[in-house]
Amino acid sequence: MRMVRLNVRPQLVGPDGLPIRAGLYDAASTGRRLSDFPATASGPNAHVLGELDILRHRARHLLRNNPWIRNGIQADVANEIGTGIRPRPATDDEAINDELLSLWREWQYEADADSIHGFYALQALIARARRESGEVFIRIRRRRPEDGLTVPVQIQVLEADYCPLTLNQTLKNGNRIISGIEFNKLGRRVAYWLYRVHPLDASFTQQVADNPVRVPAEQVIHHFIPSRPGQIRGEPVMLSAMTRAWHFDAYDDAELERKKQRAAYTGVITRPQPEYVEESDWLFDPLTGEPLKEDATPVMETQPGSFATLMPGENIELFPGDQTGQGYTDFVRQQLLGIAAGLGVPYELVTGDYKEINDRIWRSLINQYRRRIEQEQQVFIRQVCRPVWHAFVDAAVLAGAVEMPGYARAPARWRRAEWRTQAWPHIHPLQDVQAMVATIEAGLDSRQSVVAGRGRDVEQVDAERAADARREKELGLDGGDR
């Protein structure tokens, strides 16, 4: 007896107890036309955790080898971080603000636990790692006073592989470890289980890598941007571009190789077939009469400007130019448009090709792109910058580098800070500046706000302007007008 398996959807019933009518949406059709349309059901973590390892490895391969992916990621990082997202202390005490800012300017060069980068360069590394692997972990490392740091704390940037995806278990106290992250009974993150060394680094012993250690959550920053509510691990940003980028790269490489091989052949020498040919005739070069080596074919190599002299009856037949690449440019552009869309980066930034646009189109494109980057900057400030600042202020107070009355009772008051992103370059400098001036003069915005939007502090700008005026007057450069 043949068994037939049926896919039966549950019947939905409305408030009145009557069946809800189905089939109102074409996209929900299960007929022949959409029978091969995937509709895989999965939660926000099931679809990520099971395949995240291979997605990371493929993303890193593309970032290493595919110039379009690499260029797009670099453009994203450059626009998100620029030369650094910088803090401006915002406590109620201006003197303490100045002290904190002075300490920060010195400490940011000491921030890296690996002693390679300053904090702003670490920001770029963190942003790149998030895009490449989908997430990155940052460990806050407390230091001893005798270590000689301006403020005794540093941060260590760890790739996503440090937190094992396969570590899943329920602890005796009821806490659950899901993909290396420990949650308490309320669902709050209380710890991260991290390897001591990179588990994929062959220079370290597997024994060390196989033993993750528990690190309290307050000492770890987990930076990622979830694509679904409830997602606990991040996924590479290039997911929807990966397949196209891989196949296009293979195609383009094959096309380049084909053209290279074809370019080696210029033409052939033909001659009429005589009635009788000695077999030994083919053992000699028809042009020079020199004997040929075994299995050799007569070849005439010429220099530019050469003119061939042929034997009676012989003729040179040149191969035509390569016509098989017709439409190549349009095809390549279409594929790169798809890759750029998958990355979320304008095609022009991915390829460097600006010939199809004018300044108005570019303004529209770049403004939309910058709006997305600004969203990511806000996540970066919330997840990375604020916790690092809090750790910095905590360490500064504990080390006695700055005095804050009542800090232990109300630390939030003293941790306040605004974060300034680097200003966007002007698209049209004259028009952009005129627009800002008109906005201030019309009372639609303040000068302080406009200066802050340029990534500067209005107090610093005013101080620099006053210093310029004093210097010009002292040197007699003001023409007596000041």
- Per-residue pLDDT at 159: 96
Q: Name the residue with higher pLDDT: 35 or 128.
A: 128
Confidence of residue 16 (pLDDT cuts 50, 70, 90): low
> How many whole angstroms separate alpha carbon 108 and alpha carbon 90?
18
Residue 182 Rama label (left phi>0; alpha psi -120 to 50; beta): beta
pLDDT tens digit sequence for 93-109? 999 999 999 999 999 99
Taking residue 163's Cβ as centre, other Cβ atoms within 10 Å add up to: 23
Q: Give the residue from 301, 299, 297 showing the smallest Cα distance to 282.
A: 297
From 178, 137, 170, select the one nearest 44 (Cα to Cα): 178
Find the radius of gyration of the CA atoms of the chain.
Answer: 33
Q: How far apart are CA 297 and CA 281, in angstroms?
A: 12
Most confident option among 2-6, 48-52, 191-195: 191-195
3-class SS at 30?
A: coil
| Of residues 321, 307, 315, 327, the one with CA closest to residue 263 | 321
Lowest-confidence segment of 235-244, 356-365, 388-397 by average pLDDT: 356-365
Asked if 431 and 359 touch (Cβ cutoff 8 Å), the reply is no
The model's pTM is 0.81
Grade residue 470 by pLDDT with cuts at 50, 70 and 90.
Answer: confident
Question: Is the CB of residue 313 less than 8 Å from the CB of residue 272?
Answer: yes
Please report, for the chain, the start and end positions of each structural domain, with discontinuous segments joined by +.
49-237, 241-321
Mean pLDDT, the chain, as a whole number? 85
State the pLDDT at residue 203. Answer: 65
Task: Name the least confident of 39-48, 231-240, 333-342, 465-474.
Answer: 39-48
pLDDT at 301: 66
> What pLDDT, on the 0 to 100 scale, is given for residue 482?
45
The stretch 236-257 carries a mean pLDDT of: 91
Tens of pLDDT, residue by residue over 311-330, are 677 777 776 766 666 788 88
CA distance 182 to 184: 7
How many whole angstroms separate alpha carbon 131 and alpha carbon 73?
Answer: 7
Q: Would you say 69 and 237 are in contact if contact means Cβ atoms under 8 Å apart?
A: no
Q: What is the pLDDT of residue 75?
A: 95
Higher pLDDT, 306 or 382: 382
- CB count in 10 Å sphere of residue 423: 13
Query: What whole-number distance in Å separates Cα of residue 325 and Cα of residue 251?
Result: 12
pLDDT in tens, 37-92: 777 778 888 877 888 999 999 999 999 999 999 999 999 999 999 999 999 999 99
Look at 25-39, 201-215, 443-457 and tell me which has the smallest mean pLDDT. 201-215
The pair of structure tokens assigned to 211 is 């033993």
Question: What is the structure's pLDDT at 477?
Answer: 83
Confirm if 342 and 244 have CB atoms less than 8 A apart. Answer: yes
**Could you tell me which residues come within 8 angstroms of residue 139 by beta carbon, excluding any fewer than 6 positions away?**
113, 155, 156, 158, 194, 215, 219, 220, 221
> pLDDT at position 21, please?
62
pLDDT of 266-304, one tens digit each?
777 776 766 555 555 556 665 566 776 666 666 666 666
The segment with the largest mean pLDDT, out of 207-216, 335-344, 352-361, is 335-344
Please give the residue that has the higher pLDDT: either 464 or 338: 338
Angle formed at CA 211 by CA 205 and CA 217, multiple of 5 degrees: 130
- pLDDT grade for 211, boundaries at 50, 70 and 90: confident
Of the listed ranges 268-272, 454-458, 464-468, the one predicted with least confidence: 268-272
% of the chain exceeding 90 in pLDDT: 54
Mean pLDDT over 339-366 rounds to 91
Residue written as token pair 């003069």? 441
pLDDT for 307 equals: 61
Task: Give how far Cα 155 sits from Cα of 142, 215, 293, 389, Å.
Answer: 9, 14, 69, 11
Question: Which tops the pLDDT comparison, 288 or 472?
Answer: 472
**The pLDDT of residue 463:** 82
